[in-house]
Structure 1
Amino acid sequence: MNKSSYIIWLLNRIDSVTIFYKRRKVMRTRLKKLIALFGAVTLTASLLLTGCGSSKDKDSASAGGASNSSVVNNDTAGNEDGAQGNSSVNMEDLPVIKMATMTGANYDDSDAVEAEINKILAQKVGATLDITWSGMGTYSQQVNLMLTGDGEVDIVMLSGVPLATYAGNGMLLDLSDYYAQDPDPFLEWLDVSYIDSCRVNGQLYAIPEVINFSNEILVHANKAMVDDMGIEIDDSKIWTMDEIHDLVKKAMETYPDIYGIVPQTGSQFLAQINYDNLGDTSFVGVIEDHGNTGKVISVTECEEYIEFSKTMRKWYQEGLIMQDCMSNTESWSSMIPAGKAFCAFDAGAYPDNGSTDDTTYYNLTIYPNWSAANCAVRLDYGIAANSKNPDLAFAVLKELYTNADICNLLMYGIEGTHYQVTDGGKAAPAEGVSLENSGYSCGFINGWVLPNMLNAYPSYTSADEFSELLRNYDANAIKSGALGCVFDSTNVTNEYTACVNVFEKYYFAIMSGSMDTESTLETFRAELKAAGEDVVIAEKQAQLDAFLANK
């Protein structure tokens, strides 16, 4: 960036801030002070700036090593004799944007990674970033405390609590005007329908993470066993339940000591099929046909749930399903590679992020991918209503989504220290570094907690062209008729809690076939009614009707 470009950038920032302050009707004196500050920075820049550079091209992204976090000195872009530029920014004088997110990965070296990120942010937006990482088990509680505090957080990852609840409680900033000024950088990565899913009463309160927004329902089948049986697998077609039945039966005849079908996770046989729950993981009221009927009914009346459960009951009685599945504690992802099981159903599948040559399973699709109502509000990033720097917070947030250098740093840490780029253009742990001893491993463990995992190198475990595969996959998904509507149980807390307790007793047990379908379904239905299911369904229907009316 040359001197004149930098001055233009600053003037554009002034213009943007001017619009914002006029909209907020802030006193002219505050605006004059802000413009005076930018003028001083502009004067300093015009005297000192000879160049700054940070490529947006992720093919050339390189974080470099950690250095003094107080001063930024960048080589002049395009300087043929390699002389170092004399641009310097005192980091300690810049506003700090505080961000909260969660991870299950190592982040001991987060300070060094942030120092590299802040070199970029200092030049791009005139601010630095301070990240607070939290464990996944306590994250929701900590975020609630931060959002009710006095400027304790600016940018926050949202998960586990309905967006409407945060917005209704006044915890989040309305991002509508910020987004409307420059939507294109976000639309490059996100379909507008997913962004609009983060609106509450027409106002935008968050930006969805760039992840998969649709899932298919499939069967993970043990690849080694299938290959050993000499079966040719067409994993591009839609498989029928009869075909799955025959495949499992043949596997158990060939390998009599294995489990045929094991649960999706623990004792949860299969999360759901093609009925929408409006983000309610206890399914107290569902909408059939991918959420397109507009009518909330009891899951005990849902034809797809009933028919699937009846089929599983027959398979269970044939011995094709793990007989003690309701006390299982292992995941399919450990049992199949270990040769203990042949297959498992999965309702949360997408283009396989482990489809390498040594993958341990085939994916056999039984229902095509679809986007549920809550798909874009499961994981989002918003700005706290009590942020003391909302303008800068949004500017930083935009960089977290759109700047490839920053996305790579957030995902994998510092190149050469934490990761290396393979000949195939994928990120892998640096030489001598493992996921266990790495000081920063977020992108290898749970990149989905970050704003835009697709704007970085794909992981070494990813399928080739994973980013393109995933975006095309979502583009062709069936979309829920209730896309963006997420149930808030606040008005029916007592009834909902009672129904959840009933759900946990019967829902998965019936789906697994381990209980008689007809008689257990009757008991399930009666106990839900007694717990107040009708009240919950009426509330869910009212919320859906209001959402559709305002859509």
Structure 2
Amino acid sequence: MCKSRFLKFAVLLLMLVILTVTVLAGCKPAETNQPPATSTPAPTAAGSTEKPDETGGQTQEPIKVHYIFPGDPKRDDQMVIDAVNEKLKEDGVPIVFSREPLSWDIYFDKLNQKLMSGEEFDMFHIMQDLKPYNVYYAQGALQDVTDYVEKYGPVIKEKIPQDMLTGSSINGRLFVIPTYWVEVAADNYMPYRTDVFKKYNLELPQTPEQILDAFRTVRADWDGVNKPILNFSVATYDPNANHMFKIHRTYDRYPFVVKDSFFQVFQDGHVESWFESPEFKLDADFMNAAYKEGIIQPDILTTSGDVAKNLGIHGDSLMWTCGDLADVINNNPDADLDTVQTYLLAPDKPILRFWGVKNANGVSVTSKHPEGPVMFINWLWSSQENYDLYMYGIEGVHWRKELGNEERGLEWIKDPETNDTTYLSGGDSWIGNIDMVRYSSGAWNYYNKGLFTRNPDAVNSVAGSFFFDTSEVATEYANVQAEAAIVMTPIAMGVEPYDEYFDEAIARLKAAGLDKLVEEYQRQLTEFLEQQK
């Protein structure tokens, strides 16, 4: 009797175990070798995403995408972002977007603090001419977005040329989404004030010394507001940040570019130490002459974007740093859209594109949904309507299509109370695309023509799409950066004369590992160029 009852109980228990295991097995997800799965729907051909199944599937929980970029908050930022989120919802894209502008003066420090602390955010803006993405990669701050762009970014792949995608990749993997909003070869051209040149009967300077002579002539007999200066916005040893390459064209060994601040790269693939080159001395001597004569700010080592902007508003300009249209008109009411023009120094020499990628956006290593930024950018570039809303605000409230140029023209609508048009932070250079940029009626004509049209005469630098992997020389790279900021910035900006300070400065850089960096850069570039054949 007892044995029979025991057998019945054992059978019952065995059936219960089998049933439990079966249920649990049915709940276990299938293992794959694909990227970590998310609940995000697949993209549609239009570049948005499919709406959740309405016949029984669960509602998709929206992904939060938080974007950090340099700039100052503006009055209608939230109004426009609310409208963007409504449009995302209408298009079936499961994203709730937010953004956080950080003042230019604190952007890099604040961003670094967020990354170091592990603060959760999703996307941040990268400026190659100020802090290239290889620095963030070396810090481990970027996520690999290759598979996410493949899955969620068909429009991104359509809008970005392959050479730019190559220039955004490391070992064949994509780590940033380039912002193809501008023809980077336009940086070769020198802006100048036609009205001032005409007034003072000046010919276009053809050498750096003639540029200084033009400033000397104008400043000696200036009858306007504060005398024109070279209004640089950052004190740095990196020549790209202040567009020194405009005068590099006049040097005997051009064409070359300076990459990653330290490396002078010639078109045959040869690499030299930039600081030890004769061209660096030419730059330093030019800046020292300008500094001693007051042609650049006397407090140049502490300048900033805000300082430069203030000088632009309350000062005047001649060439190189010509200021915004509104600032020039503020001091010169007769100025019009053609008052500033451009020309090429050494026009017979090649027009180089210095960067394969100039600006870009990276997905933060702290993002829990790295597919989110990819989906947002794909949506943004999928229609002019989406692009206009995010970039320019609400049509009829913040802007209108320019009469006679409705396809690409833009006219800002002024606030009747403040007469202001600066409603929004950010802009095309942060996350835009050259095919969709609208030309503001308040911008210089040369600006629109040069920046938003591909230059058929330009050629790419051999290092334009090359990425320098600093992982094997990370210590030396960090040490040289730190030393250069201290000892080379004052020389590069003209405050300390080259002949007096250079020997000690270069000795410190060599002790920090400069020679090893140059050797490693040459090795990697040679290997890269061999792979391109």
TM-score of the superposed pair, with normalisation by structure 1: 0.65
Identity over the aligned pairs, expressed in percent?
A: 17
Bigger CA drift: 322-331 or 501-510? 322-331
For the 8 Å contact 2:186–2:451, the answer to whether it is kept is: no
* Letter paired with 1:294: G
* Letter paired with 1:209: T
* Letter paired with 2:63: V
Residue 394 of structure 2 aligns to a residue whose secondary structure is coil
Does 2:336 match 1:366? no
Equivalent residue number for residue 533 of structure 1: 514
For the 8 Å contact 2:341–2:446, the answer to whether it is kept is: no
Residue 403 of structure 2 aligns to a residue whose secondary structure is coil
For the 8 Å contact 1:426–1:457, the answer to whether it is kept is: yes
When residues 450 and 139 of structure 1 are mapped into structure 2, their CA distance, relative to the original with a 3 A threshold, is farther
Equivalent residue number for residue 63 of structure 2: 96
When residues 328 and 244 of structure 1 are mapped into structure 2, their CA distance, relative to the original with a 3 A threshold, is same
Residue 145 of structure 2 aligns to a residue whose secondary structure is coil
Equivalent residue number for residue 394 of structure 2: 414
**After the TM superposition, which residues 419-498 of structure 1 pair with which residues of structure 2 at under 5 Å, given as runs?**
419-423=399-403, 425-432=409-416, 440-442=423-425, 446-452=427-433, 455-464=436-445, 469-473=450-454, 476-487=457-468, 489=470, 491-498=472-479
What CA distance in whole angstroms lies between the structure 1 residues aligned with 2:512 and 2:525? 22
* Letter paired with 1:522: D
What CA distance in whole angstroms lies between the structure 2 residues aligned with 1:451 and 1:323? 32
* Letter paired with 2:230: V
Residue 101 of structure 1 aligns to a residue whose secondary structure is strand
Write out per-residue CA displacement over residues 305-349 of structure 1, whole angstroms, 9 at most, x where no aligned residue: 2234445556777x4845946567486665466456644569xx9
Does 2:176 match 1:206? yes
How far off is 1:198 after superposition?
A: 1.2
What CA distance in whole angstroms lies between the structure 1 residues aligned with 2:523 and 2:461? 17
Equivalent residue number for residue 199 of structure 2: 228
**After the TM superposition, which residues 115-126 of structure 1 pair with which residues of structure 2 at under 5 Å, given as runs?**
115-126=82-93
How far off is 1:188 after superposition?
A: 5.5
When residues 315 and 120 of structure 1 are mapped into structure 2, their CA distance, relative to the original with a 3 A threshold, is closer
When residues 468 and 198 of structure 1 are mapped into structure 2, their CA distance, relative to the original with a 3 A threshold, is same
What CA distance in whole angstroms lies between the structure 2 residues aligned with 1:340 and 1:25? 55
Q: What are structure 1's unaligned runs of at least 5 residues?
A: 1-20, 32-36, 45-89
What CA distance in whole angstroms lies between the structure 1 residues aligned with 2:446 and 2:196? 27
Bigger CA drift: 465-474 or 533-542? 465-474
How far off is 1:161 after superposition?
A: 6.1
Bigger CA drift: 516-525 or 268-277? 268-277
Equivalent residue number for residue 396 of structure 1: 376
When residues 394 and 315 of structure 1 are mapped into structure 2, their CA distance, relative to the original with a 3 A threshold, is closer
When residues 452 and 264 of structure 1 are mapped into structure 2, their CA distance, relative to the original with a 3 A threshold, is same
For the 8 Å contact 1:426–1:459, the answer to whether it is kept is: yes
What CA distance in whole angstroms lies between the structure 1 residues aligned with 2:419 and 2:114? 27
For the 8 Å contact 2:360–2:431, the answer to whether it is kept is: no
How far off is 1:515 after superposition?
A: 4.5
For the 8 Å contact 1:316–1:513, the answer to whether it is kept is: yes
When residues 546 and 191 of structure 1 are mapped into structure 2, their CA distance, relative to the original with a 3 A threshold, is same
How far off is 1:261 after superposition?
A: 4.8
Equivalent residue number for residue 294 of structure 1: 269
Q: What are structure 2's unaligned runs of at least 5 residues?
A: 1-30, 42-48, 249-255, 330-334
Does 2:109 match 1:141? no
For the 8 Å contact 1:371–1:477, the answer to whether it is kept is: yes
What CA distance in whole angstroms lies between the structure 1 residues aligned with 2:327 and 2:437? 15
How far off is 1:388 after superposition?
A: 4.5
For the 8 Å contact 1:100–1:143, the answer to whether it is kept is: no
For the 8 Å contact 1:418–1:441, the answer to whether it is kept is: no
For the 8 Å contact 2:148–2:374, the answer to whether it is kept is: no
TM-score of the superposed pair, with normalisation by structure 2: 0.67
What CA distance in whole angstroms lies between the structure 1 residues aligned with 2:72 and 2:460? 32
* Letter paired with 1:24: Q
How far off is 1:442 after superposition?
A: 2.2
What CA distance in whole angstroms lies between the structure 2 residues aligned with 1:335 and 1:115? 35
Residue 120 of structure 1 aligns to a residue whose secondary structure is helix
Does 2:248 match 1:264? no
Does 2:336 match 1:357? yes
Residue 453 of structure 2 aligns to a residue whose secondary structure is helix
Alignment RMSD (CA, Å): 4.9
Does 2:93 match 1:114? no
Equivalent residue number for residue 146 of structure 2: 175
Residue 287 of structure 1 aligns to a residue whose secondary structure is strand
What CA distance in whole angstroms lies between the structure 2 residues aligned with 1:492 and 1:156? 25
What CA distance in whole angstroms lies between the structure 2 residues aligned with 1:542 and 1:527? 23
